[in-house]
Amino acid sequence: MSLQSIKYSRGSLDILDQLLLPVQSKYVAVRGVEDGWKVINKMQVRGAPAIAIVGCLSLAVEIYPEEFESKKRLRQEVEGKLNYLVSARPTAVNMKIAADELLALANDLTKDETIDVAGMKERFLNATEAMLEKDIADNQAIGSHGAQAILKRVAEAAGAQTGTAGPVRVLTHCNTGSLATAGYGTALGVVRQLAELGKLEHVYCTETRPYNQGARLTAYELVHEKFPATLVLDSMVAALLRAKNVAGVVVGADRVAANGDTANKIGTYQIAVVAKHHGVPFYVAAPLTSIDLAIPGGDHIIIEERPDREMTHVGEHRIAAPGINCWNPAFDVTPASLITGIITERGVFKPEELKEAITKLLES
Ligand SMILES: CSC[C@H]1O[C@H](OP(=O)(O)O)[C@H](O)[C@@H]1O
């Protein structure tokens, strides 16, 4: 059993093929950008942060053995390959943000007369490799901020001191753990932190049809960690919140707009509506690399639509009537009005505070 979604050393990249989990744990070699694009598009690797990291590392393994005639030639190669990688899946913003940052670095290095083409390539490789450790550190910070926010909320509701709250029951959707990131996870990082604090009574995970990230991946992680966990059907969330005293919902994000509207796995919006009805706090956990201040609201987010076969078949087994039409958006948008807080590595923000707070952080 492995929870390491990405194995990298300079010149070598392997990803855990998540289409085969949980019954088979098999790594697939990614030898360059073409392989990187394919494993992202086919969802052999998925999860907004993991998509960006695998995409950028696929470029790193491609350029590592190459000798470039000039810094301009290297920059041209980097720009073309990064734009190609961004096209693999349109909704998560992390790959686009990483591409923009790496292209800005390539532009700066091209102009820097103190660095030759070999030095530029080394600096570029170092920048892509740094994404792995930074993502894990960000996720641990998200976990800490998120756990404290949920416990504080529970204590306030009970009129008690924050330190006395819990243990709590939480619900999560899709997979936002080590299999969606470089490690530890975002929303599942909050669950891990609650468990590390001894404050996790129970975690419920939804199956997350049709790719079943919850049943296949999150359940895999929770069993691996020996957390008290229960799998529920996507259709059970209302009954669960009514019956099981869930203290909070925490989900991930693929793209958070400037006003806090959040695109996440299909079904998230529905859970947020049910949480509002039952007075259960609803949190989004996401690194700053999932926040897109360039778009004002959720209506501007492109929602990926995936093949009908993901709905009509489970593996090779057909479960839907031949000939039926299907609608298979991979994500939906939860309006900011349904979100209690957005948990980042720099703190927890109310949606209405997000744009100003993140702008200040990015300028500091
Ligand atoms: C920390 S992963 C964020 C996000 O990505 C997942 O989508 P997919 O499995 O299609 O890549 C899901 O929406 C997670 O919440």
Of all atoms in ligand 1, which is nearest to the CA of residue 330?
A: 10
CATH of the domain at 203: 3.40.50.10470
Same domain? For 97 and 178 the reply is: no
User: Which tokens in the block code for residue 120?
Assistant: 């530029």
Q: Which of 98, 132, 166 is the last residue of a domain?
A: 132
Torsion of CA 228, 234, 236, 242, to 10 degrees: 80
Q: How far is CA 15 from CA 33, 37, 79, 268, in A?
A: 13, 13, 24, 27
Q: Is 353 inside any structural domain? A: yes
Tens of pLDDT along the chain (364 residues) come to 678 999 999 999 999 999 999 999 999 999 999 999 999 999 999 999 999 999 999 999 999 999 999 999 999 999 999 999 999 999 999 999 999 999 999 999 999 999 999 999 999 999 999 999 999 999 999 999 999 999 999 999 888 776 678 799 999 999 999 999 999 999 999 999 999 999 999 999 999 999 999 999 999 999 999 999 999 999 999 999 999 999 999 999 999 999 999 999 999 999 999 999 999 999 999 999 999 999 999 999 999 999 999 999 999 999 999 999 999 999 999 999 999 999 999 999 999 999 999 999 989 8
Of all atoms in ligand 1, which is nearest to the CA of residue 46?
A: 11
Minimum CA distance residue for ligand 1 atom 6:
47
Q: Which of 102, 132, 162 is the last residue of a domain?
A: 132
Same domain? For 220 and 183 the reply is: yes
Same domain? For 54 and 150 the reply is: no
Eight-state DSSP code of residue 347:
E
Q: Is 152 inside any structural domain? A: yes
Tell me how far the alpha carbon of residue 260 lies from the centroid of ligand 1, in angstroms: 17
Tell me how far the alpha carbon of residue 264 lies from the centroid of ligand 1, in angstroms: 6
pLDDT of residue 162: 61
Same domain? For 124 and 207 the reply is: no
Same domain? For 108 and 175 the reply is: no
- Name the β-bridge partners of 256: 262, 291
Tell me how far the alpha carbon of residue 10 lies from the centroid of ligand 1, in angstroms: 27
Long-range contact pairs involving 189-192 (C-beta distance under 8 Å, separation at least 24): 189/139, 189/140, 189/142, 189/143, 189/146, 189/285, 190/142, 190/143, 190/146, 190/147, 190/150, 190/250, 190/283, 190/285, 190/343, 191/222, 191/227, 191/250, 192/143, 192/225
Number of structural domains the chain divides into: 2
pLDDT of residue 358: 96
At residue 164, the 3 state secondary structure works out as helix
Q: Is 179 inside any structural domain? A: yes
Which residues, judged by CB distance below 6 Å to any ligand atom, belong to the binding site of ligand 1? 46-49, 174, 176, 180-181, 186, 213, 251-254, 264-265, 330
SS3 readout for 52-113: HHHHHHHHHHHHCCCCCCCHHHHHHHHHHHHHHHHCCCCCCCHHHHHHHHHHHHHHHHHHCC
Q: Is 1 inside any structural domain? A: no
Which one of 16, 174, 268, 283 would you pick to mutate in the ligand 1 pocket, going by the greatest count of ligand atoms within 8 A of its CB?
Answer: 174
User: Which tokens in the block code for residue 305?
Assistant: 């639509």
Of all atoms in ligand 1, which is nearest to the CA of residue 265?
A: 13
Expressed as residue numbers, the domain containing 228 is 142-363
Tell me how far the alpha carbon of residue 176 lies from the centroid of ligand 1, in angstroms: 6
Tell me how far the alpha carbon of residue 333 lies from the centroid of ligand 1, in angstroms: 13
Same domain? For 127 and 231 the reply is: no
- Could you tell me if the ipTM is greater than 0.95? yes
Same domain? For 115 and 256 the reply is: no
Nearest-CA neighbor of 169 among 195, 187, 146?
195
Q: Which of 76, 111, 132 is the last residue of a domain?
A: 132
Of all atoms in ligand 1, which is nearest to the CA of residue 264?
A: 13
Same domain? For 119 and 225 the reply is: no
Same domain? For 239 and 117 the reply is: no
Minimum CA distance residue for ligand 1 atom 15:
252
Same domain? For 17 and 112 the reply is: yes
Active site residues: 254
Same domain? For 252 and 220 the reply is: yes
User: Which tokens in the block code for residue 121?
Assistant: 């390539």
Q: Is 137 inside any structural domain? A: no
Minimum CA distance residue for ligand 1 atom 1:
176
CATH of the domain at 128: 1.20.120.420
pLDDT of residue 353: 97
Tell me how far the alpha carbon of residue 44 lies from the centroid of ligand 1, in angstroms: 13
Of all atoms in ligand 1, which is nearest to the CA of residue 51?
A: 11
Same domain? For 271 and 207 the reply is: yes
Alpha carbon distance 156, 182 (integer Å): 34
Identify whether the C-beta of residue 43 lies closer than 8 Å to the C-beta of residue 15: no
Amino acid, res. 265: K
